[in-house]
Chain A
Amino acid sequence: MQRIQDARLLLVDDEPELLAMLETLLRQEGFTQIRTAANGAEALTAAGDFAPQAVLLDVMLPDGDGFTLFSQLRRQADIPVLFLSARDEDEARLRGLGLGADDYITKPFLPQELTLRLRAVLRRTYSAEEPAVTEKISLGEVTVDMGSGTVKGNGAEKMLTAKEYALLAKLNENRGRIVTVDSLCMAAWNDQNIGYDNTLMVHMRRLREKIEIDPSHPRWLITVRGLGYRLLREAKL
Chain B
Amino acid sequence: MKPKRVIRSALWLSALLAVIFAVGMVVNLGLFSYAVISLSGKSGEPQVSRYAEMLEHTDSGYLLAAEAADMLAENHYWAMLISDASGELLWSYGKPPEVPERYSLSDIAAFSRWYLADYPVKVWTVTDGLFVLGGPKDSAWKYPVEMSMDQLNFWPVWAVIALACNFLVIFGVSVWMTGRRYKERDAARIEWVAGVSHDIRTPLSMVLGYAASLEKDGEIPEKQRQQAGVIRQKGEEMRSLVADLNLVNRLEYAMEPLKKEGLSMAALVRETAANFLNGDLDEKYPIEVEIDPAAAALQTYGHRALLVRMLGNLIGNSIRHNPQGCSIRIELRAERKLLHLTVQDNGAGFSDQQLTLLRRDTPPETALGGGGLGLRIVKRIVAVHGGRICFQNLPAGGCSCTVRLKM
Contacts and interface: CB of A to CB of B under 8 A. Distances in A.
A226 B289 contact: yes
Interface size class of B (residues with CB under 8 A): 35 or more
Contact of B202 (A18, A24, A112): A18
Interface string A171-201: 0001001111111000000001111010000
Contacts of B271: 180, 182-183
Interface residues of A, number: 37
Given A28-B213, A108-B201, A109-B208, A182 B270 contact: yes
Nearest to A112: B212
B208 A110 contact: yes
Contact of B297 (A89, A195, A224, A228): A195
A111 B209 contact: yes
A200 to B, nearest CB: 12
Contact of B264 (A88, A182, A183): A182
A86 B288 CA distance: 37
Contacts of A87: 194, 198
A182 B209 contact: no
A86 B297 contact: no
Interface in B263-281: 264, 266-267, 270-271, 273-274, 277-278
A228 B291 CA distance: 12
Interface residue SS majority, chain B: helix
A228 B212 contact: no
A224 B206 CA distance: 41
Interface string B178-205: 0000000000000000100010011011
Contacts of B278: 174, 177-178
A194 B204 contact: no
Contact of A181 (B206, B270, B290): B270
Given A18-B205, A21-B209, A108-B201, 16 more contacts: A18-B206, A21-B206, A28-B213, A88-B246, A108-B202, A108-B235, A108-B239, A111-B208, A111-B212, A112-B212, A177-B278, A179-B274, A182-B264, A192-B267, A224-B277, A227-B277
20 contacts: A28-B213, A87-B194, A107-B201, A108-B204, A108-B235, A110-B208, A111-B208, A111-B209, A111-B213, A174-B278, A180-B267, A182-B271, A183-B271, A192-B267, A193-B267, A224-B274, A225-B288, A226-B270, A226-B288, A226-B289
Interface of A: 15, 17-18, 21-22, 24-25, 28, 86-89, 106-112, 174, 177-183, 192-195, 197, 224-228
